[in-house]
Structure 1
């Protein structure tokens, strides 16, 4: 009898081991396509924590440069290929693809606490009230300036200064012979490069991309005034070669102490206040973006989010991963593992309420104020038919915005006039919109 018991036990243990091996062999594998930046790389490093908590799911990563990522995920989702179970997309894609039925709505039930997500970020990733992208980190734009240089001028920089006042401050700080330029701004052509900034300036001057009948408005007085102001400001008080500069070039100049002021993404604040990266870390001040005719659309709104294509065959596993990576608990995990200065920002109210984050991020209040003030559903002074602050969330906008960026960069470099640039951009936009059947 004892021998039989021992054999039975041995057999049971053998079966259990076989089942465990089979479970591991047949674990669901989800493929995540993402952009190659610091926050996403950190998410990959912490993925074993997710797999430990979800032993039936394995995560495979496809990490790409931003341009290649956009191309690959757009092709995959349009063709319904199902290569990716989770993809990294932004505020431009989420409402468009959600409307087309290409994305699975994010499961926001229970402990996910969707109400904790900042309202402007939540709205920008939604279509008709349904969330199609879970925000991993978010940003707006704001003024970053040298407090020491502004003090020397006897002037001040405040929230929502007029663009004219900003010009006067910048002019007073501009000392190229001493290696300091009054202002650094994006000039490199691209719908997500110079046009992100240019659209916020145009918005504040009262401009809009399209009227209520979808007719392009790039030759309006508001656009001409805004672009003329931008070109004049950067030509007189910016660094040489501004038409080739984007975020990284301006960041390098500011951190070297060569810019009196920089207006760009709020995410830059963590870099310019880091003594390991910035020579002027202890002299950086922050203010809300300048205005002219209106505050509407004066600062942009963006979020990299995780989305689930409708073509995935691993929807349940994908939902579990997305909910984990964009949760309050994930942010806590990063804070405990790498310090609160390293957590992804711009997504949840609870992050900004956390004393540990407040202590680590001197820019937290200004960043949150900027994000909360941006409304993608009401970003223009005159009525407009589109959603988006620094872009219009329609499929045709990438081409329209890219062409406009090339023209305005040409005006900045002096190869054409502002009027010529806007006329060419408007003509191109008209062709695109007619061909797409908007009118």
Structure 2
């Protein structure tokens, strides 16, 4: 995907807040009172590979800080997203990856990397006071991202890095004009969308993804509000044609058919973004990364008028928002796990995660940046943006099943959803799609 992607979160974020790093001498004196020493591996060299994104570029710009802090030399490679995913899998499979630290797209490669046990379980490293800085505070990471980075067998084989939460965007001006409250349930949102539509001004109550593959993450946002909340069961069997899955499909269908613009069947995130920033849609559920362009006064007609809220609740006992994200892992084959862990602590520590947020590099996996009053005061975003991030971090859950053939899954289920927008019966379409994909998943589970 070229240009701004939803994972290039907050590209036009607030002004940067500089958090000074201590000089090596100061660090050594401070660490003299603890078992941890940032200079323990000085003279070593590690190789790091990350995706080309504002986060990767941030690490490039600040690489010298880590080298000065630790005395560890870093060969940092920044590779475009799709190529990076392919590169690391090929190298992992070879048994001799060239890198000591890598970024892993959890929504794409988590299951593949986890089943092969290609990455080191970092829990023993975190527990080792001689290897983990006293102020690293792993408990600061959002619960949803920690769960996302943890494999089914309990191994934490990557450290949570960047998060992409699905949230509710709404046009404050349009809601105020019709005296409509911010909806807290999907039913309330549908009724609000009907009230907010103004055909005479080409304003629609809702906008959302209709395009095959891209649409699955909106359907899963509805499913996460039911009793089911997962697309595979504990036995790794596909469950995408259950009553809850059908309810999610029916909800998806009525939002796209009844309260969205004509032609939504062909909309991906970019068409949704354009429609919403032109003020022609009242509400939109999608990734947090679109906040930046929506608040860009040079591009958006509604800059300063955007409201932020957690996704509405469904009819079930659960309330989750769809989560996508990345983690940083250390290959099991690496012979430099100590220096690699030092790099991850620096890259994903409190200081740099705050800088990610305030410089526009991305949404951090940690929670403390969202409560930083200095960041909020200097930000281009309103307080409800930060409140929504913090609240979403608490209820986040994977927005796609943790399987290897995830792209095929999105294609097959996405086709069923697209057909439903065209008028097909939802239950029939989901039964057909489930039957079509089930052998694909079963073969993948046998092979991986």
Scaled to the shorter chain, the TM-score interval is: 0.7 to 0.9
**Per-residue deviation, 1:242:** 2.3
Q: 1:178 to 1:341 in 2, by over 3 A?
A: farther
Cα distance change of structure 1 residues 402 and 280 upon mapping to structure 2, 3 Å threshold: same
1:88 aligns with: 103
Which of 416, 423, 426 is the equivalent residue of 2:434?
Answer: 426
Does structure 1 residue 404 correspond to structure 2 residue 377? no
Q: CA deviation at 1:97?
A: 2.5
Counterpart position of 2:163: 138
Residues 1:175 and 1:266: Cα distance change in structure 2 (over 3 Å): same
Cα deviation, residue 297, structure 1: 5.2
Residues in 2 aligned to 1:356 and 1:154: alpha-carbon distance in whole angstroms: 33
Query: What are the Cα deviations for residues 391-425 of structure 1, in whole angstroms up to 9, with x where unaligned?
Result: 2223354433432123323433x285434431221
Q: Which residue of 2 aligns with 1:330?
A: 352
The verdict on how the C-alpha distance between 1:342 and 1:397 changes in structure 2, with shifts beyond 3 A counting, is closer
Pick one of 39, 43, 61 that aligns with 2:59: 43
Residue 231 of structure 2 aligns to a residue in which SS?
coil
Size of the alignment, in residue pairs?
390
Q: 1:352 to 1:49 in 2, by over 3 A?
A: same
CA distance in 2, matches of 1:433, 1:131: 24
Q: List alignment gaps of at least 5 residues for structure 1.
A: 1-25, 377-388
Q: How does 1:184-263 map to 2 (within 5 A)?
A: 184-190=207-213, 193-207=214-228, 208-263=230-285
Cα distance between partner residues in 1 of 2:355 and 2:443: 49
CA distance in 2, matches of 1:140, 1:125: 15
**What CA distance in whole angstroms lies between the structure 1 residues aligned with 2:103 and 2:277?**
29
Shift of 1:330: 2.0
Cα distance in 2 for residues equivalent to 1:332 and 1:213: 39
Measure how far apart 1:166 and its partner are. Answer: 0.8
Q: CA 1:213 to 1:307, structure 2 compared with 1: closer, same or farther past 3 Å?
A: closer
Report Cα offsets for 1:116-166 as digits up to 9, x if no partner. Answer: 2222212221235543222222132111101111122232114xx222221
TM-superposed CA distance for 1:213, in Å, is 4.3
> Are the counterparts in 1 of residues 222 and 251 from structure 2 also a CA contact under 8 Å?
no
* Per-residue Cα deviation, 1:356-383 (whole angstroms, up to 9, x for no partner): 1222242101111011122x4xxxxxxx
What's the secondary structure of 1:88's corresponding residue? strand
Q: In the aligned structure 2, how far is the partner of 1:31 from the partner of 1:187?
A: 41
TM-score, normalising length: structure 1: 0.79
- Residue 90 and residue 166 in structure 1: after superposition, are their counterparts in 2 closer, same or farther (change >3 A)? same
Q: Residue 175 of structure 1 is aligned with which of 188, 198, 206?
A: 198
Pick the aligned partner of 1:288 from 300, 305, 310. 310
Counterpart in 2 of 1:152?
Answer: 177
Q: What displacement does 1:188 show?
A: 2.8
Residue matched to 2:113: 97
**Structure 2 residue aligned with 1:268:** 290
Alpha-carbon deviation of 1:95? 6.1
- List runs of 5+ in structure 2 lacking aligned partners: 1-41, 127-131
Q: Contact 1:205–1:222 at 8 Å: present in 2 too?
A: yes
Q: Match for 1:116 among 136, 140, 153? A: 140
Alpha-carbon spacing, 1:79–1:296, altered in 2? closer, same or farther (3 Å): farther
Does residue 367 of structure 2 align to residue 349 of structure 1? Answer: yes
The answer for the alignment partner of 1:23 in structure 2 is none
TM-score, with length taken from structure 2: 0.78
**What is the CA distance between 1:325 and its match in structure 2?**
0.8
Alpha-carbon displacement from aligned partner over 1:43-100 (angstroms, at most 9, x marks no partner): 22222222333444132313113x3332322232233241333221133434653453
Max radius of gyration: which structure? Answer: 1
Contact 1:95 1:125 in 2 (8 A): no
Q: Pick closer, same or farther for the CA change 1:188–1:54 going to 2, 3 Å.
A: farther
RMSD: 2.8
The residue that corresponds to 1:382 in the other structure is: none
Report the Cα distance in structure 1 between the residues aligned to 2:299 and 2:145, rounded to whole angstroms. 29
In structure 1, distance between residues paired with 2:99 and 2:262: 43
* 8 Å Cα contact 2:412-2:433 kept in structure 1: yes
